[in-house]
Amino acid sequence: MKPAPAGDLALVLHAHLPFLRHPEHRYHLEENWLYEAIAATYLPLCEVFQNLARGGVRLRVTMSMSPTLVSMLRDDLLRERASSYLDRLVLLGEQELVRTRREPALFKLANFYHDRFRRLRALYHAEDGDIPAAFRRLEDQGFVELITVGATHGFQPTILEPAARRAQLEIAAEVHRDAFGRWPRGIWLPECGYVPGVDEDLAELGIRYFFVDTHGVEHARPRPPFGVAAPIYTKSGVAVFGRDKESSRQVWSADDGYPGDPLYRDFYRDIGFDLPLDVIGPFVHPDGIRVHTGFKYHRVTGKVDLGAKQLYDPDRARDRAADHAGNFLGNRGAQIAWLAGRMDRSPIIVSPYDAELFGHWWFEGPQFLDFLFRKLHHDQSIVRATTPSEFLAENPTQVVAEPAPSSWGDGGYSGVWIDGSNDWIYRHQHRAEARMVDLASRHVGGAPTLIGRALDQAARELLLLQSSDWAFILKTGTATGYAASRVKAHAARFQRLCDEVEAARIDEAWLADLERRDNLFPGLDYRVYAR
């Protein structure tokens, strides 16, 4: 019989994408972000978790799924387009098998990808294209704990109206219940953005815990004696878990994190950019804009030009993922043994990551998780995988403190989302929040059908305007034109809807078109914004 573990590891995966749905276009470039994530991250994670569960391995992982992501994954149009995307990958694999048949090394890789995408397509069809339902079954079986996120990833520190701040949380919880059949026990605050008062809203909603970056706990008042090795409770009774820096650094560090290993697959080298357009044309943008296809034949190699990258070997990369899983677990074991000898309670290491790191950015990431949970189960007895709810049930007594206002990201204090590149957003957002609260309060007793529909749609446009993704994109300089256009479009749509409500003259055809395009949260009731 194994001895009792000395401490716990809570692995947290944050799955989120902004709302990307453009039915007005047959093909939209940014919609590809969703399909890439399905093929590279969500399906591979589902596959790994299902295999672990079937194998009797103790799987405990916490996974947030944002309401915008859940809405997209359940949308009929986007599911149809995702299925077509997987079909194209399989067809590209067939074409690559023909193209590389005289080059044994490339042919082996083409066959590897062809088999992979056929397998993932089969899994997608087996789940009827309903990825949230697949994760719901894993939660029902006790393997995964699903938690929610702010409705549209609205960054709490930049939302001034209390009713608008609470609406992001309440709508999120209701969408989660609709998708997963239960009220969420925890929440991933967007960008881990915390300001005092958020915990009170969470307590009123019955949400038991949330996460902050390391300094949110370490700088709490009074200062917690165990740092992030134990959760704290706020005065409202909600638990706060802080990110462990050491385990994060081993995965995230640009200098010595695991994904930068020379044997792992290189993200940037892709046949979508390497092959002539007359060969790759049917599998990229119809206008000839090159995109990533997922067929990547080269490995990281080192800090060399893309043209100097060496060929990828999946078998060697898989072995390295096993090595890294063992290294990660060994380090966590040493960390927990050290903490356990200095604490009067069970320590917990909270290791949160963007889910899209696993598979999309770090191709071998899902394999790493597979090896990690198998090693946790079979190879040691010091560290136990757990979830926050499970940990709190077993360790209900913790210190009470007020977390420090904080975020994650560069600087740790909201600087990424409030910056000279993006701060122009907030004058539009704050005016819209105040107007939404005012109109909802004026119509709190109900409104004629058409007015009510317009107010519901105004709430959707405000929620989409609040998405922190637009500020992040503007700060990082990636797809700035798209982000700016989304902010301006949602602000303009919101203002026109409100003007029409106040004039009691609704353009029903235009409203119906908006309801068709920005169709998230069909059960939304604008009165959630009433004071």
Residue positions annotated with a catalytic role: 191, 354
Q: How far is CA 26 from CA 85, 272, 289, 467, in A?
A: 13, 20, 15, 25
Say how far apart CA 118 and CA 113 lie, in whole Å. Answer: 8
Q: 65: part of which helix (H) or strand (E)?
A: strand 61-65
SS3 497: helix
Which helix (DSSP H) or strand (DSSP E) does residue 505 occupy? none
**Cα gap 273→269, rounded to integer Å:** 7
DSSP H stretches of helix in 219-364 = 245-252, 271-274, 277-280, 314-340
Going by C-alpha positions, the residue among 266, 271, 360, 311 that lies closest to residue 92 is 271
Q: Which two tokens stand for residue 406?
A: 């904080």
- CA–CA separation, 310 and 266 (whole Å): 9
Distance CA(446)–CA(362), nearest Å, equals: 50
Kindly give, in sequence order, each residue whose CB lies less than 8 Å from that of residue 199, ignoring residues fewer than 6 positions away: 210, 234, 235, 236, 238, 240, 403
Which is nearest to 207 in space by CA: 160, 179, 169? Answer: 169
**Residue 230 CB partners (closer than 8 Å, separation 6+):** 224, 343, 345, 347, 348, 395, 398, 399
Distance CA 498, CA 457 (A): 10
Q: Which residues of 426-456 are buried (b: 16+ CB within 10 A; e: fewer)?
A: bebbeebbebbbbbbeebeeebeebbbbbbb
* Cis before 196? omega within 30: no
- Report which of 352, 480, 345 is spatially closest to residue 62, judged by C-alpha positions: 352
Sign of CA dihedral 157, 161, 162, 165: negative
